[in-house]
Structure 1
Amino acid sequence: MLHPDYPLATERLLLRPATAADIDDMHAYKSRPDVCRYLPYDPMSRAEVAERISGVWSRTELTEAGQALNLCVEEAASGRLLGDVVLFWRDAENRTGEIGYVFAPEAAGRGYATEAAGALLALGFEGLALHRVTARLDARNDASCRVLERIGMRREALHLQDMWFKNEWSDTAIYAMLEYEWRESVEAGVRR
């Protein structure tokens, strides 16, 4: 089980549960076709964002496998909402999880996604004691692939045209990291 103390702080970011006050800022990027291009959903209406914030995105802890923890990513210095991240607890027996993230275009190129994704790895490995954390994404999403590589995840697989995605065949890239790799990076001072 995972019961984080919020907000989760990194060098420049705060990760915290979404609130109704986040609806407009979240809708501003989740409604954009360019942001949703590689995501498993289409651009969202304000009502859809509000519904998710009051529903599936309202979880503040993980009590059993199969659940997901969605968190807002806020710039600590300004309080500005930059994006949101998710940690899925996939399997308790095999201790597996998965991470994902989406950021507003204005936040791109500043290392925020890398910093937040690294915090998700810490939450998975340290908070849930996971053995393995993966990330699945459309292989054409080069920027997201670079984020995963910067946090030390390795590309394990490329599934060619394995999914009919938004009216075209898409390749899925699979990235992963094991617990011992995480621990080694912490001991080497790569992670805090």
Structure 2
Amino acid sequence: MKISSNTINLRLLDKSDWELFKVLNTCPKIMEHVFEPFSIEETKKRFEERTQPWDGEVGQWLCLAIDEINTGEKLGSIGLKITNDKARIAEVGYLLRIEAHGKGVASEALKLLKNYAFTTLNLNKLVATCSTKNIGSYKVLEKAGFSREGCLKQNSIINNKYKDDYVYGLCAPQE
């Protein structure tokens, strides 16, 4: 499976992506608004889960690597997991290497994933949660057409501090 634009490819995460996955999940700066950085052991476990074949089961992540077309550079990952099979709702998430921040990579990847989710997977709605302090992330969501549906106070704990999260949603276009 490969989904492409003029600048990036999305492809299934595979064993060659270990170094990228390790950086994304253990770097304090990248994880600042997401989770506490994972240990190497937890990162290995998550990597094994994310590189398993995706069968669309509720709660299982479809994890895609984001590669720059011209250089082949591994820029980050993006994915979705179905959270409600009956209502056809999936959560989306993305992480980028610091060097790829602010260059439109997340926006382009989310646009590709959104189109795939609605046209190929026939999903009804995509949702995302992000820290109220993660301005870059919620601007990506808003640029992709997601609407802020609420604010969850003290919804997560990162580095022993409660964090507020925004909840976003995007429904499939109706014909």
Q: Please give the TM-score of this superposition, normalised by the length of structure 2.
A: 0.90
Does 2:145 correspond to 1:167?
A: no
Q: CA deviation at 1:41?
A: 4.4
Q: Aligned Cα RMSD in Å?
A: 1.9
- Specify which structure has the bigger relative contact order, considering alpha-carbon pairs within 8 angstroms and separated by 6 or more residues: 2
Q: How many residues align?
A: 175
Whole-angstrom CA distance in 1 between matches of 2:56 and 2:139:
31
Q: CA deviation at 1:173?
A: 0.2
Whole-angstrom CA distance in 1 between matches of 2:115 and 2:60:
17
Query: What residue number does 1:143 align with?
Result: 136
Q: CA deviation at 1:50?
A: 4.2
Q: What per-residue deviation string (whole Å, max 9, x for no partner) do you get for residues 85-133 of structure 1?
A: 1111111111111100000010011100001111121122112211111
CA contact (8 A) 2:107 2:143 kept: yes
The structure with the largest strand share of the pair is 2
CA contact (8 A) 1:17 1:57 kept: no
Q: Please give the TM-score of this superposition, normalised by the length of structure 1.
A: 0.83
CA contact (8 A) 1:26 1:81 kept: no
Q: Percent identity?
A: 26
Q: Give 2:46's match in structure 1, choosing from 42, 49, 52.
A: 52
Gaps of 5+ in 1: 1-5, 185-192
1:1-192 matched pairs, under 5 angstroms: 6-45=1-40, 48-53=42-47, 55-180=48-173
Q: What per-residue deviation string (whole Å, max 9, x for no partner) do you get for residues 17-45 of structure 1?
A: 22222222332343311111112341442
Gaps of 5+ in 2: none
CA contact (8 A) 1:117 1:151 kept: yes
Residue identity opposite 2:151 in structure 1: L
Q: Comparing 169-178 with 123-132, which one deviates more in the overlay?
A: 123-132
Whole-angstrom CA distance in 1 between matches of 2:64 and 2:147:
24
